[in-house]
Amino acid sequence: MQTKQIAFDMTVNGNGIMISAQDLVKIYSNKVKAVDKISFEVREGEVFGFLGPNGAGKTTTIKMLTTLASITEGRASVAGYDVRSHPSSVRQSIGVVPQELTADEELKGIENLILSARLHHVPSDVARNRAGDLLRLVDLEGAADRRVKTYSGGMRRRLQMAMGLLHTPKILFMDEPTLGLDIQTRSKMWEYIRKLNRENDLTVFMTTHYLEEADSLCDRVAIIDEGTIKVSGHPGELKEKLGGDILTIEVSSGLDLTSFFQGIQDVSDVSKKDSTYRITLPRTEKALPAIVQGLSQKGIQISNISFTKPTLDQVFLKITGRSMRDEESPAAPPAWIQSA
Amino acid sequence: MAPFGDTIALTGRALRKYFRNPSAIVPGLATAIFYLALFGNSFNPQNLIPSSSSSGGSALQAFGGAPTYITYLTAGVICLILVFNMAFGGIDLVLDRQLGFLNTLLSAPITRASIYFSGVLQNLVKAMILAFLAFGVAFVIPNGLKLPAGFGILNFVGIFAAFALLGIGLSCVFTALALTLRSIDSLVAIVNFVTLPLVFASGALFPSSSFPGWLKEIADVNPITKASEAARLLIVNGTLTGSNFWTFANDLVYLVVFAVVLALLGYMAARNALKAE
């Protein structure tokens, strides 16, 4: 094996960049361009989220990075290895949790883990120890000796995650890790992912079409739509770009207060509809007291006031001009989850 | 070393699944019983052709000296079971692709060859188990398989060597096919189109000497004819001597070449099918 040598030759590893994609293009044999010149970098220890509607190119990107799909154009390196020229070194460095549940139903939980370990050439005594640790981590200790067909959807997802981690990969790829799970199970999954990321310094690359998932879990997200990355950054930064929080005030007064609101410091945008005003506030905590005080000095009564924090949904709406919710058909969980 | 271990690990997974679900063996066993007990009796030439002599021996003249039709038929039915099981064994592999299991293998650091060879091996083991069971069925049914005096363990080994060689060749073809196809429907269509003609155009069920010329020519190069002929020689005669031995040796060499060539062709096809999409 020359893997060691290759690692030294390619110093990408040194600067803490775990995944680098440069102008990646994927055109399938049926001429469909699934990914169109995307570039991004994922740093060591980061949870990086690929956010986009179904069919945006998320899974194709994961497939290219995990050596399952060939790269039509561009370059990608994973864990310091060029994906095109050193696919087997890449495979050795990554764990993959696919969208489909691939754990074998007829086998026990522990047997699935051991099989996964053998396929990554982990010595069997090491594999048994690690399997025990991982089962504890994902709360499946009690179910280890049960056949997977008796597991619930959430348990299968957790087992799948453990299967991707037995060989202690540097990077974990997760394609829609919470697809088809109910909201409680989903937040439990987020907890596991955070714990893994924190305790094992694991770099995580995940795709999702759940905005709240990207928001709560990811250090950085890239919003991908129609095969291109529209914007990327920290979820907070992206939301800040919207200009801040939205304050909606309804007053019981016929006066036009637009110029009054505009005159208040830290108000960036005001729009009026009847007696309701939509005010954009970059720094709510400063502007809000001034607005309320100003109105009461004028003797104007507020009949309704509400206030929304910007969401990634609004970011998506602003960037693509349509809501992600409209795009997504209710995600049908695979048949074997429904029957479980 | 590692490719070998990968192949064993993957084969072990498939067989563990197989043995946990013993009902999987039922259709194969049913085929054996139907063909031996029903076909073996209803198509028995001793019954079909009313013979002047009360012994009925003349009706089996072309059947290589087999004492009963089922004795003749056993080797052929086992070949038929091998063909069917290799062919439909591919369904598990297509399912592995459809359910995403194949992708987890392809993103793991194992050789592509181990995926192919584990497919070949798992189907071979499953089908050979049924072959053993079918042999037992032929033995226990009334008016069934009659082994000659002095039939020994080496004869038995020789019989199953012939079956195994045919099995390897067939397993390679159908494993490569299953790895190439994306849907079970197309696999089943091809299998239905291929398996029965392959069996009928062979000496598995009736001696090819009675076939019309064009069909005999096909049957004589059909590996199913060779395997059933080789196995039958041992079943009917026990230890072989003279020209019988050379026919057997010739059949076995033919089957070795068949197995090796198809293993290589299958490997090339499988490697192509397992390339990144």
pLDDT at A182: 83
pLDDT at A18: 95
Residues A24 and A151 in one domain: yes
Residue B105 β-bridge partners = none
For residue A189, the distance in angstroms to the closest alpha carbon of chain B comes to 21
pLDDT at B106 over 90: yes
A66/B107 CB distance under 8 A: yes
Residues A255 and A139 in one domain: no
Mean pLDDT of A35-43: 94
Residues A227 and A252 in one domain: no
Cβ(A12)–Cβ(A77) below 8 Å:
yes
Instruction: State the total domains in chain A.
Output: 2
DSSP letters, A100-158, are S--S-TTSBHHHHHHHHHHHTT--HHHHHHHHHHHHHHTT-GGGTTSBGGGS-HHHHHH
| Res. A326 pLDDT band, cuts 50 70 90 | low
Quote the CA–CA distance of A199 and A181 in Å, as a whole number. 25
Nearest neighbour of B100 by CB, restricted to A94, A102, A106: A102
A106/B277 CB distance under 8 A: no
To the nearest whole number, what is the mean pLDDT of chain A?
85
Residue A329 in domain: no
B17/A104 CB distance under 8 A: yes
Higher pLDDT, A199 or B265: B265
Nearest neighbour of B101 by CB, restricted to A68, A102, A120: A102
Interface test with A, best of B6, B17, B20, B104 (most A CBs within 10 A): B104
A207 by DSSP, 3-state: which? strand
Return the top range by mean pLDDT from A273-277, B55-59, B269-273.
Answer: B269-273
Q: B199-244: per-residue pLDDT in tens?
A: 999 999 999 888 999 999 999 999 999 999 999 999 999 888 889 9
Quote the CA–CA distance of A316 and A52 in Å, as a whole number. 9
- CATH code assigned at A252: 3.30.70
pLDDT at A8 over 50: no
pLDDT at A149 over 90: yes
Tell whether B103 lies on the interface with A, counting CB pairs under 8 A: yes
Q: Which of A214, A231, A209, A235 is nearest to A222 (CA)?
A: A231
B100/A99 CB distance under 8 A: yes
Tell whether B277 lies on the interface with A, counting CB pairs under 8 A: yes
Chain B CB contacts of A102 under 8 Å are 99-101, 103-104
pLDDT at B2 over 80: no
pLDDT at A337 over 70: no
Nearest neighbour of A91 by CB, restricted to B2, B99, B107: B107
B277/A63 CB distance under 8 A: yes
pLDDT at B93: 93
pLDDT at B187 over 80: yes
pLDDT at A9 over 90: no
Q: A219-278: per-residue pLDDT in tens?
A: 999 999 889 998 899 888 887 777 778 888 888 877 888 888 888 887 878 888 888 888
| Res. B50 pLDDT band, cuts 50 70 90 | low
Q: At what angle do helices B2-20 and A109-119 cross, to 10 degrees?
A: 160
Q: What is the domain extent for residue A174?
A: 3-233
pLDDT at B214: 95
pLDDT at A340: 35
Chain A CB contacts of B16 under 8 Å are 106-107, 111
| Res. A10 pLDDT band, cuts 50 70 90 | very low
Residues A48 and A149 in one domain: yes
Mean pLDDT of A78-95: 94
A266 CB neighbour count, 10 Å cutoff: 16
B175 CB neighbour count, 10 Å cutoff: 30
pLDDT at B134 over 50: yes
Residues A293 and A197 in one domain: no
Q: How far is CA B233 from CA B44, B144, B225, B251, in A?
A: 19, 17, 12, 11
Residues A192 and A261 in one domain: no
pLDDT at A148 over 90: yes
Q: How far is CA A159 from CA A165, A332, B163, B235, in A?
A: 10, 21, 41, 51
Residues A160 and A280 in one domain: no
pLDDT at B186: 92
| Res. B253 pLDDT band, cuts 50 70 90 | very high
Chain B residue with minimal CA distance to A62?
Answer: B107
Chain A CB contacts of B109 under 8 Å are 88, 91-92, 119-121
| Res. A184 pLDDT band, cuts 50 70 90 | confident
Query: Residue B163 carries which side chain, given as an amino acid letter?
Result: F
Residue A320 in domain: no
In chain A, what percentage of residues exceed pLDDT 70? 90
| Res. A66 pLDDT band, cuts 50 70 90 | very high
| Res. A15 pLDDT band, cuts 50 70 90 | low
* Chain A residues with at least one Cβ partner in B under 8 Å: 28-29, 63, 66-70, 87-88, 91-92, 94, 96, 98-102, 104, 106-107, 111, 115-116, 118-121, 163
How many CB contacts within 8 angstroms connect chain A with chain B?
A: 71
For residue A327, the distance in angstroms to the closest alpha carbon of chain B comes to 25
pLDDT at A300: 86
Query: What residues have CB less than 8 Å from A60, skipping those under 6 apart?
Result: A26, A34, A35, A69
Chain A CB contacts of B99 under 8 Å are 100, 102
Give Cα B58 distance to the centre of its chain.
30
pLDDT at B254 over 70: yes
Chain B CB contacts of A28 under 8 Å are 277
Residue A321 in domain: no
Chain B residue with minimal CA distance to A67?
Answer: B107
Higher pLDDT, B52 or B97: B97
Residue A90 in domain: yes
Residue A76 in domain: yes
Tell whether B212 lies on the interface with A, counting CB pairs under 8 A: no
Q: What is the domain extent for residue B163?
A: 2-273
Token readout for A200 is 């094992």
Say which residue the tokens 């058909």 belong to.
A329
A69/B276 CB distance under 8 A: yes
pLDDT at B129 over 70: yes
Residue A326 in domain: no
Instruction: State the total domains in chain B.
Output: 1
Token readout for A243 is 């200009």
Tell whether B110 lies on the interface with A, counting CB pairs under 8 A: yes
Residue A323 in domain: no
Q: Using alpha carbons only, give the angle A145, B90, B109 rounded to the nearest 5 degrees.
A: 60
Cβ(A186)–Cβ(A152) below 8 Å:
no
A308 by DSSP, 3-state: which? strand
Mean pLDDT of A15-38: 92
pLDDT at A325: 59
Residues A102 and A55 in one domain: yes
Residues A224 and A271 in one domain: no
For residue A250, the distance in angstroms to the closest alpha carbon of chain B comes to 54
A104/B21 CB distance under 8 A: no
| Res. B58 pLDDT band, cuts 50 70 90 | low
B107/A101 CB distance under 8 A: no
B99/A106 CB distance under 8 A: no
- CATH code assigned at A78: 3.40.50.300
Chain B residue with minimal CA distance to A166?
Answer: B108
To the nearest whole number, what is the mean pLDDT of chain B?
90
Quote the CA–CA distance of A238 and A205 in Å, as a whole number. 19
Mean pLDDT of A87-113: 93
Return the top range by mean pLDDT from A100-104, A307-311, B97-101, B172-176.
Answer: B172-176
Q: At what angle do helices B223-237 and B153-180 cross, to 10 degrees?
A: 160
Quote the CA–CA distance of A279 and A289 in Å, as a whole number. 14
Residues A165 and A255 in one domain: no
Chain A CB contacts of B108 under 8 Å are 91, 116, 119-120
Q: Using alpha carbons only, give the angle B53, B59, B61 rounded to the nearest 5 degrees.
A: 110
A94/B107 CB distance under 8 A: yes
Higher pLDDT, B54 or B88: B88
Residues A65 and A134 in one domain: yes
